[in-house]
Structure 1
């Protein structure tokens, strides 16, 4: 009876210690916006969300996809930054925000890209769409194909500008997915989103993202506004090695979209952190190899492993390496042989392939026979 009571007391103490070590996280702020989401850019972990899957008109946030596709074409070498783009009458006539190009002008691709990103120019967006795909309509098809490839399941684009149109819809979650792709896939062009001004034809226009002036951690991304969409802002910021992406849509003013975004980012940076569990070069342990020139091989992970955790919660992380049976030569560097499962407070937060860290060639005949004999003998002692 005493032993049983003592064991129960130990369990109770252990549970209380675990609770005491668990970081305290208050409820997230409630924003004056129709929908919003906060995401860790490294891991994709959602920290805060409200109506993130509600379809909304994206307004000029659409131009994030326009610029992404242009960056893709530039990276592939299909087009070049100094290619001269002829400005059509359709591009020139388009209303709304403008870069102020003229019909018949020939403008470098890179200038038009800045016109899209910094000045939110509808004229620049159409000009690039026509240059890349021949027409804005065909370009919209490419936008939708790219959205599907990214997993933006609730998005449909009708044009390259965000001009109001039936069926031109997205969600806060899908916009966060697009923002991650912008940052991770095209870092050199993503730098354009932090530029505060762009001068063209003698007209110097400021970036409409107020947070570029207010918060040095913010380096993008894009504003949007129409009567139906309200005032919207997709923002990204970096502090202490953590990059957050926020999407705030449907606020009632330019000032409000900035202020509400600041609340969301401040909450994320205050209470969470991006923690690197393993690097792709880390050897986690060595495993026996049968029939190989080498008797053992290092086991690593296929990529850097990041997790999003409450700030100060590193001690609550537990990682398990699971090997899929015995290893037999030959083995190729990078070959998957199992997985690493990372848990936080008992919940799986990462599941990545475990791979061999180097090649292991097959041994000669006599070594293979000898290993077979050893395996056979050892099987009786398992």
Structure 2
């Protein structure tokens, strides 16, 4: 019996070692035929792959991601509505490059222009929205730069709403990944527009230029770009098995290449990594003693859902530590920060979030507070 038990232990140890070896086998990321590229987990913000991610390059029509983002922001704030009619100026109508084919002097709903920007990459639609939001494209460009700073896009400067070549109109793969994440996470009510394959306006049906929408059902955005200087570019996003990835591929030499190289990045991320939910914001992690409260204990939760990016199959290597900032005293408000939760993977910190009270604790009456004070003193004296 003892020999059989030892044999089982050896088998289990061998299997565990094999599983550990298998889950740690992550090959080097693919090398892409592109000027710069980056792969990001949208839930956690963790970068899985990067190459020349801080190299400043012209963004071409990827600029329109910011144009659309600002329009969505204005709609959310209530300063404009989807149904507002936008008067098309001669400047918008005359603009060259890709077009939605609006006509000078006509009025077009904001939501149609937004589709024209996102699906058809219309320069005319971009300028029309810029003028409607800010009065002029120049002023709108200032708003774009202010929004870029708020998002943390510190190496980006916008000169216009379209991506039309202009001196100093530059960005980086890292900043575009930040913008792509904001597009996905901040305005889900408009993100579905990025997955639409066609949009018809003025009797002209135009396809979305993102080839991956036809090739991979997991892909649901985001935006293509191309100029002679920028090359062929694509910011793509895909969701599979609870994981959302954002890829940025800049400076390829063809429409086909930007799609193929983006597919390589996305396939690598989905194959070797996963997004793991450690805690939900409704989870009570443990209870803590409360002094001077109507109730003796309070539940401790996290301020927000906690996600981490880990090698696929590596859940057993995650450790979470709850650190409370001293003893808790009533009154306590629900959601009041009282410490932090530190999540580590193989000893390396991968997430740190605030620990908060899961409920309100009112202050007790005088005699209860006095009794707690005595107990606290005695416990402190003998500790």
SS at match of 2:97: coil
Unaligned runs of 5+ in 1: 1-12
CA contact (8 A) 2:232 2:258 kept: yes
1:331 matched residue in structure 2: 332
1:20 deviation in Å? 3.7
Q: Which residue of 2 aligns with 1:186?
A: 187
- Alignment coverage as a number of residue pairs: 369
For 1:88 and 1:374, how far apart are their aligned partners in 2? 76
Relative distance call for 1:21 and 1:264 in structure 2 (3 A) is: closer
Q: Are 1:80 and 2:81 an aligned pair?
A: yes
Deviation at 1:105, TM superposition (A): 1.1
Aligned partners of 1:80 and 1:278: how far apart in 2?
37
Aligned residue for 1:230? 231
Spell out the pairing of 1:103-182 with structure 2 (5 A cutoff): 103-182=104-183
Q: CA deviation at 1:76?
A: 1.0
Aligned to 2:212: 211
Alignment-derived partner of residue 6 in structure 1: none
Given that 2:331 and 2:361 are in contact with CA atoms closer than 8 Å, whether structure 1 keeps it comes out as yes
Structure 1 distance, partners of 2:40, 2:367, is 56
- 2:200 and 2:237 map into 1 onto residues whose CA distance is 24
Unpaired runs of 5+ residues, structure 2, are: 1-12
Cα separation, 2, equivalents of 1:69 and 1:376: 57
Structure 2 residue matching 1:67: 3-state secondary structure: helix
For 2:27, the equivalent position in structure 1 comes to 26
Q: Which runs of 4+ in 1 moved over 6 A?
A: none
Alignment partners' CA distance in 2, 1:227 and 1:216 = 30
Following superposition, the deviation at residue 380 of structure 1 comes to: 2.8
Corresponding residue of 2:70: 69
Residues 14-67 of structure 1: CA distance to partner in whole angstroms, max 9, x if unpaired? 9x9596475210000000000000000000000000000000000000000000
Aligned runs of 1:173-322 on 2, under 5 Å? 173-322=174-323
Provide the secondary structure at the position in 1 that maps to 2:351.
strand
- Aligned to 2:69, what secondary structure does the other structure show? helix
> Per-residue deviation at 1:352?
0.3
Note the C-alpha offset of 1:102: 1.0
SS of the equivalent of 2:310 reads strand
Aligned counterparts of 2:380 and 2:125: Cα–Cα separation in 1: 71
Please give the alpha-carbon distance, in whole angstroms, between the structure 2 residues aligned to 1:82 and 1:339: 45
Q: Is the 8 A contact 2:23 2:312 kept in 1?
A: no
CA deviation string 1:253-272 (max 9, x = no partner): 00000000000000000000
* TM-score, structure 1 normalization: 0.95
2:60 and 2:312 map into 1 onto residues whose CA distance is 35
- Which residue in the other structure is 1:5 paired with? none
Does the C-alpha gap of structure 1 residues 101 and 310 become closer, same or farther in structure 2, counting only changes over 3 Å? same
Partner secondary structure for residue 65 of structure 1: helix
What TM-score results when the alignment is normalised by the length of structure 2?
0.95
Find the residue that maps to 1:53 and give its secondary structure.
Answer: coil
Measured in 2, the distance between the counterparts of 1:308 and 1:265 equals 14
| Residue equivalent to 1:8 | none
Task: Indicate the RMSD between aligned Cα atoms, in angstroms.
Answer: 1.3
